[in-house]
Amino acid sequence: MDHDNPIVHDIFGIPGADLNLSNLLMTFIVSLIVFVFCVWGSRKLQMKPKGMQNFMEWAVEFVRGIIKDNMDWKTGRVFLPLGLTLIFYILVSNLIGVATVGTVGHTLWWKSPTADAVMTLTLSAMIIVLTHYYGIKVQGTKAYFKTYVSPVPLMLPFKIVEEFTNTLTLGLRLFGNIYAGEILLGLLVGLATSSIFGFFGAAIPMLAWQGFSVFIGGIQSYVFVMLTMVYMSHKVSSDH
């Protein structure tokens, strides 16, 4: 189980610039899958939807429902592509490590990109930055800064801390769930490959855990998008 990550240290000679090639590969593959799937799903659009178009429209309706739960549709509609892309990206990222974990030698190449805290925190940080951007854009600079000192100026430190905790919880929740799933899967695989008894002992728990991981992957992608929209609505809705 001593898997290494294919890390390239100090790329372009910049000290501290370490790149995990596995992440590079997997984000590219996930992006490719999402892109191909979505474009394939939404080609040949018709008034009377059939097959894939139904599914894609269901997904659109689903994310639209998440957004509508948190803010009014007029301000929320610009977040629909973001929410849709996020939910597909995270879902595919989560599931890609459930089915298969690929290693070359002792190097872990194929895994969920979301099983890496750096990746999930990048996503969550991006979301938080976007909430601030849209907060300023929708509410105006003055109203945006006013939210930090309302209802009382005493709230200012808490509000600032909240942004960091939001970033951390949003990213680490996803990471923790997926990483835990992959660790347990790794353990089960280790058990299954250790002996013939281990194989039969591990087969059924592995099946159950893979099913559960698929479930977790779906739930976590939903939760991520849900929380994205919650944070977004905090920033863009004036009544909060």
Binding residue for another protein, selected from 45, 99, 204, 219, defined by CB under 8 A:
45
C-alpha to C-alpha distance for 159 and 90, rounded to whole angstroms? 28
* Ranges within 116-135 binding another protein (CB under 8 A): 116-119, 121-123, 125-126
Whose Cβ is closer to another protein: residue 20's or residue 75's? 20
Q: HSE of 81 in the Cβ direction (CA atoms, 13 Å)?
A: 2
CA 235 to chain centre: 20
Min dist CB 37 to another protein, Å, is 9
By rule CB under 8 A, what count of residues binds another protein? 53
Residue type, 187: L
Min dist CB 237 to another protein, Å, is 22
For residue 239, state whether it binds another protein (rule: CB under 8 A): no
Stretch of 25-33, 150-158, 200-208, 219-227 contacting another protein, by CB under 8 A: 25-33
Min dist CB 64 to another protein, Å, is 9
For residue 34, state whether it binds another protein (rule: CB under 8 A): yes
For residue 17, state whether it binds another protein (rule: CB under 8 A): yes
Instruction: Say if CB 205 and CB 188 are below 8 A apart.
Output: yes
DSSP letter at 43?
A: S
For residue 138, state whether it binds another protein (rule: CB under 8 A): no
Whose Cβ is closer to another protein: residue 86's or residue 139's? 86
For residue 24, state whether it binds another protein (rule: CB under 8 A): yes
40 backbone dihedrals φ, ψ, rounded to 5°: -65, -40
Q: HSE of 233 in the Cβ direction (CA atoms, 13 Å)?
A: 20
Min dist CB 230 to another protein, Å, is 20
For residue 179, state whether it binds another protein (rule: CB under 8 A): yes
For residue 158, state whether it binds another protein (rule: CB under 8 A): no
For 195, the 3-state DSSP assignment is: coil
For 233, the 3-state DSSP assignment is: helix
104 backbone dihedrals φ, ψ, rounded to 5°: -115, 115
* Ranges within 71-110 binding another protein (CB under 8 A): 80-82, 84-85, 88-89
The token pair that represents 138 in the structure block? 């929708």
Residue type, 103: T
Burial letters 142-171, b for 16+ CB under 10 A, else e: eebeebeeeeeeeeeeeeeeebeebbeebb
In the complex, which residues of this chain contact another protein (CB under 8 A)? Answer: 1-3, 5, 7, 11, 16-20, 23-24, 27-28, 30-31, 34-35, 38-39, 41-42, 45-47, 53, 56-57, 60, 80-82, 84-85, 88-89, 113, 115-119, 121-123, 125-126, 179, 183, 186-187, 190
